[in-house]
Amino acid sequence: MKQNVLHPAVWRAHQLPSVVGTTLSSGFSQLDAELPGRGWPVGTLIELIPQHTCGTAELSLLQPCLQALTPATLIVLLTPPHPPCLQAWYHHGLAQHRLLWLNSDTAADAYWAALQVLRHHQHAFLCYWPAHPLSYAQLRQLHVLARQTQNVLFLMPPASAGQRPSPAPLRVRYRPQVPAHHPNSWGLAVHLLKGAGLLTQHELYLPLWQAPPASHTANQPRVITPTHEPLPVPFAAAPLQKH
């Protein structure tokens, strides 16, 4: 019986795609081993879906990848749930002039801004937190625009988006977790919901923080000296204006 041949950009649920595009390492070897192409795909829509509340650890998950970007890459934070901590960015070696923080009064303006970033940049790293789940048509438009560039596009929708269909080739659910065997540390439990090929059916634990070892003089209070001077805030959130 002759088997139908699929287009290289199309795959069945049980197959790996025959063509894998450019990817960026996530910085976590166990996660890279499960991601198609062994990293975050470039030029595609990636959904990071929280199990409960958005804005708890998405940027911590993306931090190793952000640190590995070329210095010319613009990092765009579009309507994040919390203001970015510039001192934390400075501490991790990310120059403040590479960060563009955009707020919006309406969901329509925020979506418009996301389209403009994708249309007018070729090598941007866009993180977009929509206040409400986007429609299938809106998600598809973002994905189509991303495929025409080398932009990295992460969408952080509300938790309810996980129950909706999406054209995103890669969907990842995550939740903060404190491991029972290591209560002085915390990380993320990550579950790959959708992607090309066979994906693991169990959660991956990615360690993000661990308490420093206790001093041998346990009764003596520790004095923590900051390694950097406070960083002045050179700008406020940029309002979006249509022209």
Ranges of each domain in the chain: 23-210
In the predicted model, what is the mean pLDDT of residues 79-103?
83
Rounded distance, CA 130 to CA 82, Å?
Answer: 13
pLDDT band at 15 (very low <50, low <70, confident <90, very high): very low
Lowest-confidence region among 50-59, 71-80, 220-229:
220-229
Q: Is the pLDDT assigned to residue 66 strictly greater than 80?
A: yes
Superfamily of structural domain 23-210: P-loop containing nucleotide triphosphate hydrolases (3.40.50.300)
- Residues 114-161 have pLDDT tens digits of 999 999 998 899 999 998 999 999 999 999 999 999 999 999 998 888
CA distances (Å), 168 to each of 48, 82, 143, in order? Answer: 10, 25, 7
Structure tokens at 124: 């941007």
Find the DSSP H helices in the chain.
Answer: 29-32, 58-67, 86-91, 107-120, 136-147
How many degrees, rounded to 5, is the angle at CA 109 between CA 168 and CA 122?
Answer: 55
Query: What residues contact 163, with CB distance under 8 A and at least 6 apart?
Result: none
pTM score over 0.85: no
Q: In what order do the strands lie in the sheet with 45-50?
A: 99-102, 74-78, 124-128, 152-155, 45-50, 170-177, 185-194, 204-210
